[in-house]
Amino acid sequence: MRVRDLNWFQLERYLGHDDRIVLPIGSTEQHAYLSLETDNILAERVAAEAAEPLGVPVLPVLAYGLTPSFGAYPGSPTLRAGTLVAVVQDLLDSLRAQGFKRILIVNGHGGNAPADAARREWGAAHPDTEVLFHNWWIGPRVWQLVQELDSGASHASWMENFPWTRLGGVDLPEKRKTPLEQPLPAAPGAMRETAGDGQYGGFYALPDEDVLRVWAAGVEETRELLEQGWQTRS
C-alpha cells in the first residue's frame, strides 16, 4: 500500500503490529525513447505490487540519483554521491525514530550503488534496525529471463520497456542495437557521442508476453525478500 493512500492515523495503527516499510529509489534520466522517469516508475511500481498483498507501506520514490555521465541529455539532473548518501542516511534515521525497524530499499538505477554502501554503514551503527537493498532488475530469476530473451539487453532497451514506461506517439526502432563497448566514457559529451540515442544495446522492444514475464519475476523476487529476507522478525 502506498503511503499516499494513507493518513498518519492509519500508519500509526499499522506500526502497532508491523515494523516493515519500503523505500524505492531511482533516477530521473534519459532512457532513449522511454520516459525520463523510467527508473522511478519501475522502482516504485515493483515495490508497490510486491508489498500490496502483505499490507506493507511503500514510500514515494526518491526520484533523483547519481547520473553525472548523462549530463548532456536534457532532463537528466544528478546528485553528488555525498548528497545521495546523506539523503538515504537521513531518511533511515527518521524512519527508525518513528518505529520502522525493517526497511527495504528497492533500487531502480545502477548508478545508485553508493546508496547501498550508505545503508551498510548506517546499519553497522544501528544494529536494532535491519535495512535491505534490492536492485530489482538483476534479481536471479529476472536476470535469467533477460539473458534467455536477449543477452545483450541493457539500459533503455526492451528490459525497461513496459506499458507503464512507454510514451504515446513515440515510435521505437525495430532493429537490435549492437551493445556498446565497455567501459563507457564518464564525460557527458563523450557519453552522448558514444551512446547516441541513449540505449546501450539489445532490442528496443519485445512482445508484452515476454516483458511481462520479466516483470512478474521482479515482483515475486521483491515480495519474497520483503516477506522472508529478514534476519529478525517483528
C-alpha cell at 96: 527508525
> What is the residue extent of each domain of the chain?
3-228
Residue of 215, 217, 197, 218 whose CA lies nearest to 206: 215
Predicted pLDDT at 156: 98
Predicted pLDDT at 206: 98
Question: Burial, 123: exposed, middle or buried (Cβ in 10 Å; 0-12, 13-18, 19+)?
Answer: middle
Predicted pLDDT at 234: 53
Question: In which residue ranges of the chain is pLDDT below 50?
Answer: none
Predicted pLDDT at 85: 98
Predicted pLDDT at 233: 60
pLDDT tens for residues 11-42?
999 999 999 999 999 999 999 999 999 999 99
Predicted structure pTM score: 0.97
Q: Secondary structure of 97-158 in the HEC alphabet?
A: HCCCCEEEEEECCHHHHHHHHHHHHHHHHCCCCEEEEEEHHHCHHHHHHHHHHCCCCCCCCH
Residues 182 and 16 sit within 8 Å (Cβ to Cβ): no
Domain 3-228 sits in CATH at 3.40.50.10310
What are the strands, taking DSSP E only, across the chain?
20-25, 102-107, 130-135
